[in-house]
């Protein structure tokens, strides 16, 4: 038996039409996912939008209060598990750590006699260390200077990963080579004399160099962190005794060889 036709104004007909409309909307929702708009600021209250996202990941929504007189705003922020509201945005993403390596050639060098006087002979361009038995010069010592301000600026706020020093040793007393001792000096520029107090760290590492030999050697991290932190500015060469096994000279600035170079690997 066919059901009797009902006019559009029939309440049952309207109800069935509403059910069909709800079914249509529900079906449409499964094929068109709900999207939350991403905005840079809260939409005006005349805008019908009631839920939105910010680029930093915060989600905000609003609804009228019980009295219907004003909007209540709520915010959900990532980084606050267990809470559905937050008064502040999550912390900005941490910048990625970048590791890089830079090299700085020496810009000055000078050798000094045991008395502290600067050598005015080959010691102007070569780095003498130790004693050859010459009473006039005694136990030699030398300084290597770098652009410490540039190094300090580059390393500011960094973590130093490694330090290397490249240098050419020109001469050693023995054909088998020599053990060269390195320390840290704190002279901003070439001093007229080797004065006390300018070497905060003496002979903290040593390396064997041939006669002659160019080498790049690994240095303690202090050789860079000292410059970064302001208590050191360059490299000092000293011998532990007057034994000739510690005597020789290396290439400094203006020697005709490549100058010493400090290479630092760091992250920040």
- In this predicted structure, what is the pLDDT of residue 48? 81
Strands 213-219 and 234-238: unpaired
Neighbours of 220 (CB within 10 A): 14
Q: What is the pLDDT of residue 77?
A: 67
Which DSSP symbol is given to 244?
G
pLDDT category of residue 9 using cuts at 50, 70 and 90: low
pLDDT computed for residue 84 by the predictor = 47
pLDDT(86) > 70: no
The mean predicted confidence, pLDDT, of the chain is 86
Instruction: Report the relative pairing of strands 261-267 and 51-53 from DSSP bridges.
Output: unpaired
Distance of CA 121 to the CA centre of its chain: 42
| 91, pLDDT greater than 70 | no
Contact present, 128 and 142 (Cβ < 8 Å): yes
CA 79 – CA 67 distance, rounded (Å): 33
For the chain, report the end-to-end CA distance as a whole number of angstroms: 84
Residue-level pLDDT at 66: 75
Q: Average of pLDDT values for 11-30?
A: 65
Statement: residue 97 has pLDDT above 50: yes
Q: Which pLDDT tens digit goes with each residue over 199-239? A: 999 999 999 999 999 999 999 999 999 999 999 999 999 99
Walk me through the domains of the chain, giving residue ranges and CATH numbers: 7-90 (no CATH), 99-267 (2.60.120)
**Average pLDDT estimate for 61-87:** 66
DSSP codes joined into one string, 178-225: EEEEEEEE--SS--SB--TTS-SEEEEEEEEE-SSEEEEEEE-THHHH
**Region 255-259 average pLDDT:** 97
Using alpha carbons only, what angle is made at residue 204 by residues 200 and 210, rounded to the nearest 5 degrees? 130
Contact of 184 with 222, CB cutoff 8 Å:
yes
CA 107 to CA 148: how far, in whole Å? 10
**Mean pLDDT calculated for residue range 34-54:** 80
- Please indicate whether residue 79 or residue 239 has the higher confidence score (pLDDT): 239
Structure-model confidence comparison of residues 133 and 1, the more confident one = 133
Check residue 83 and give its pLDDT: 47
In the predicted structure, residue 33 carries a pLDDT above the cut 90? no
Mean per-residue pLDDT, 82-102: 66
Rounded Cα gap, residues 54 and 79, in angstroms = 14
Report the pLDDT value the prediction gives residue 195, as an integer from 0 to 100.
78
Mean pLDDT score, 85-103: 70
Residues 6+ positions from 56 with CB-CB distance below 8 Å: 89, 90, 92
DSSP label at 253? Answer: T
CA 252 – CA 169 distance, rounded (Å): 9
Region 105-122 average pLDDT: 97
Burial class (CB in 10 A: 0-12, 13-18, 19+), 115: exposed
């Amino acid at each position: 038996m066919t059901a009797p036709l009902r006019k559009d104004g029939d309440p049952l007909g309207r109800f069935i039409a509403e059910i069909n409309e709800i079914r249509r909307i529900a079906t449409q929702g499964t094929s068109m996912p709900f999207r939350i708009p991403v905005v840079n600021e809260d939409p005006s209250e005349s805008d019908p939008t009631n839920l939105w996202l910010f680029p930093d990941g915060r989600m905000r929504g609003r609804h009228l209060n019980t009295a219907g007189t004003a909007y209540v705003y709520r915010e959900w922020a990532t980084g606050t598990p267990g809470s559905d509201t937050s008064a502040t945005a999550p912390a900005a993403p941490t910048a990625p750590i970048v590791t890089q390596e830079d090299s700085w050639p020496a810009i000055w060098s000078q050798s000094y006699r045991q008395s502290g006087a600067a050598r005015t002979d080959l010691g102007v361009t070569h780095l003498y260390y130790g004693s050859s038995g010459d009473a006039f010069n005694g136990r030699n010592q030398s300084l290597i200077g770098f652009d410490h301000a540039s190094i300090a600026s580059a390393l500011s706020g960094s973590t130093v990963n490694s330090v290397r020093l490249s240098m050419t040793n020109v001469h050693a007393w023995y054909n088998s080579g020599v053990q060269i001792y390195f320390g840290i000096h704190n002279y901003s520029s070439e001093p007229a004399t080797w004065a006390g107090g300018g070497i905060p760290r003496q002979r903290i590492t040593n390396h064997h160099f041939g006669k002659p030999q160019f080498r790049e050697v690994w240095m303690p991290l202090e050789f860079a962190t000292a410059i970064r932190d302001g208590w050191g500015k360059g490299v000092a060469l000293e011998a532990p005794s007057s034994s000739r096994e510690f005597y020789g000279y290396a290439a400094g600035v203006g020697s005709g060889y490549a100058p010493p170079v400090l290479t630092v690997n760091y992250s920040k």
